[in-house]
Structure formats: C-alpha cells, structure tokens
Amino acid sequence: MMIWQDVTTLAGNLARLGVVRYLVPPIVFLAVLAGGWIVSRVWKALGRKLDGAGIAWGRTVVPACLRPLHVFFLITGLYAALSLFPGFAQHAAFVTFFTKIYRSLMIVLVAWVFWNLESAPNLEQSALAKQMDIQSNQAVLPILSKALRFITVALAVLIIAQEWNFSISGLLAGLGLGGLALSLAAKDMLASIFGGLIILLDKPFKIGDWIEAASIEGTVEDITFRSVKIRTFTQALVTVPNANVVDSAVTNWSRMGKRRVVLKLELSVQTPPAVLRTAKSAVLHFVKGHKGVHPETATASFDDLSGARLLFTVIYYTRTTKWETFLNIREDILLNTMQLLEKHRVALAVPAQEVRLVCGQEPLAQEPETGVVKKSLDKPAQP
C-alpha cells in the first residue's frame, strides 16, 4: 500500500514539473516497436502456413515484405515519437521537412518490396512467368528481373523527386532529348537490344542449346540484351550481336526430335538379283528391329547402277538426338549391315583400274567401267 502511494506521489510530482510530456515519445516509440515485433511474428507464421499449403505467396510475397516491415515499424515509431515531442508541432518548417522525409522513406520501402519480388527466383514462380512460359528459362528471367528492377528504381526516384517539388516534366523532357541523341549515336547497340528482346520473347533457343546462326555453330552459353555467346566445337567463345542473330536464319539442332541417317553402300553387280533381294530384306528387318531406330522411318532400296557398282541405300531415323548415342547406333547398324551382306554372300564393289601397256609409251590408267581388272599388251606390227 505504501509503495502504491509512493508511485502516485512520484507521478504527481513529475506531472507538475512537465516531465510526463518527455516520457510519452519514448513510450510511444517502444510501443510501436513492440507492435512491429508482434506483427512480424504473425507474418512469419502466415508465411509458413501458406508455404505448407503449397501457396506460392508463402515463398515469395511473405519473405519479400519481412525486412521492409521491420524497417517500417522502426521509422514509423521514430516519426510518431518525434511528432509527440514537446514543441515539435510549433515549428511548421520542421514538421514539413520531417514529413517529406517520412513519406520519401515510405516510397523507398514500397520500392524495396517490389525489388525483392522482382528477383529471378520469385519471378520464376509468378503468374507473369507462367503466362509468358518462361518459368525455366534461365536466360530470360535474370534479364526480366533487371529490367523490372530498373523500372522500379526509376519510378521511385521520380516519385520522391516530385515529393520534394522537383519539376518532373522538365526532367522527362530532358531525358527525351537525351534519349533521341543517344539513339542516333548508338543505333547499332539499340538494334542489338531490340534483337535481344525479340530473342527473349520469340525464344528460338535457350542457354545450353546447340544452334547454328550467323555462320556460327556451337552451344549457347549466355544471352544478354546486347549479344549471344556461343561456344564453338573448337572451344572458341564467339560473341554475336543480337541484331546479327535476328537477321540470320537460326537452326536449333537441340530441338531435333530424331536424327536422320543415310547409309550408302556400293555393291558388286556380280551378285544375283535374288540374293540381293534377300539381303535387302534381312538388312531392313534388322534396322526396323533396332531399339535405337524409329521402325516406321526405316527404308532400304537399290538406287542406282553405274558400271560395275550397284548403289544400296539405307535410310532411318534414330530415337535419340544425343551425339555420342547417335554415333554408337550408327556404328552398330553399319557393322551389322556389313555382316548381313557377308552372310548372304553379297560382295562390295572394289575400286579397280584398267591398265594398258604399250611398248615405248608410259602406262596409262583410267577408271574402270566393268569392275574387272584388265591388263593387255599391245604388240607393235611386224616390220
């Protein structure tokens, strides 16, 4: 009872001395900080609950707002405490100045939230990325993130400048004239930038694709607003301006669904037609039954007859587009085709030459027409 009377007496004495007015601002500041701590705890719990329910906001929006939320309560507490400080309201210039600072900081906090939301990982899970079908495009997302963040910072700066009574119209007019001069001086660079936008929106290729563009063939290592970096098969890194890529035909070999193989063999015409038909059927049956081949694409035919050579052509498409696997399939089919031809006693055409020896002259050689090596000796006429 005595303690309560002492506290009451102390409070009365402080009130008479005007000390209470100076205790209110720090109390308000601490109260705002306590409220911010409670809100932050609730916000974190909400994020965990949304994340557990599989809602993307729990992984994007909640973390993006967390640190700006802490700073918001800190700044708001300071501003509220300063506003309640005795004599502060009597100075209009101070009130106007600190109010503008507070409003500018609020604009910075909002821009901070958007900056966090516009990071590449957050954009990957956004509705915008799903609508543009760029969720897994590691070339587009960083560039889109940088562009959106640049726009966010520019808008924040303009709004803050307007808050401090700067002329936005004059600034925009100056930027317009400067942009016109810059566009005339750097038209090639701007053409590459617009080419980069076309590449990012049209998506003819992505990082890691094997392409052929502007007479350059290789693997795409990086895509920027200005250029495309291609690693050739000789391990040279070629930087191609986007304008050159857009103006040329682009072949994306990585988007092949299958690879085409044309196998040509020259057979000897000495083999009977019946044997040739049997060998052809055996080869075609083997190719269609190969696990690495699309069976409906396999064909085999005798295409041409030239002298002692019969052209045998086998065409098929492999299921895989991977280079090493493709080479193994092609090698396996080639060796087995030769074994089948040997099994059916079908001989390959052997290159031959016809040689004529004439006394007193150099030997003359010419390409064969019959496939049989001939040697003849023309004797001179008897005197």
Domain ranges of the chain: 20-166, 202-254, 259-343
CA dihedral 27, 28, 32, 34 (to 10 degrees): 20
Say which CATH class 202-254 falls into.
Answer: mainly beta
In contact, 128 and 117? CB cutoff 8 Å: no
**How far is residue 383's CA from residue 129's CA, in Å, rounded to a whole number?**
98
pLDDT (0 to 100) of residue 133: 58
**How far is residue 14's CA from residue 132's CA, in Å, rounded to a whole number?**
66
Task: Note whether 202-254 and 259-343 share their fold.
Answer: no
In contact, 364 and 356? CB cutoff 8 Å: yes
pLDDT (0 to 100) of residue 128: 58
- The yes/no answer on whether domain 259-343 falls in CATH 3.90.1150.200 is no
**How far is residue 238's CA from residue 228's CA, in Å, rounded to a whole number?**
8
Long-range Cβ contacts of 294-301 (<8 Å, 24+ apart): 294/258, 294/318, 294/319, 297/258
Strand, coil or helix: what is 311?
A: strand
pLDDT (0 to 100) of residue 370: 44
Task: State in Å, rounded, how far the first CA of the chain is from the last one.
Answer: 161
Strand, coil or helix: what is 227?
A: strand
* Cβ neighbours, 10 Å, residue 268: 15
pLDDT (0 to 100) of residue 238: 95
Strand order in the sheet with 364-366: 364-366, 354-358, 375-378
CA proximity to 329, closest of 263, 257, 233, 280 = 263
pLDDT (0 to 100) of residue 381: 41
* Cβ neighbours, 10 Å, residue 129: 19
**How far is residue 166's CA from residue 151's CA, in Å, rounded to a whole number?**
19
> Which parts of the chain have pLDDT scores under 50?
1-2, 4, 7, 10-11, 14-15, 17, 368-383
Question: What would the two tokens of residue 365 be?
Answer: 């050689």
**Residue 295 per-residue DSSP state:** G
Q: What CA–CA distances, in Å, run from 349 to 209, 265, 277, 307, 328?
A: 41, 9, 17, 10, 26
**How far is residue 292's CA from residue 325's CA, in Å, rounded to a whole number?**
9
Q: Which amino acid is at 315?
A: I
Give me the helix-helix angle, 187-202 and 140-163, nearest 10°: 120
Q: Is the dihedral of CA 189, 190, 191, 195 positive or negative?
A: positive
Beta bridge partners, 228, equal 223, 240
For residue range 262-273, list pLDDT tens digits in order.
999 999 888 899
Strands (E), 277-360: 299-306, 309-318, 354-358
pLDDT (0 to 100) of residue 124: 64
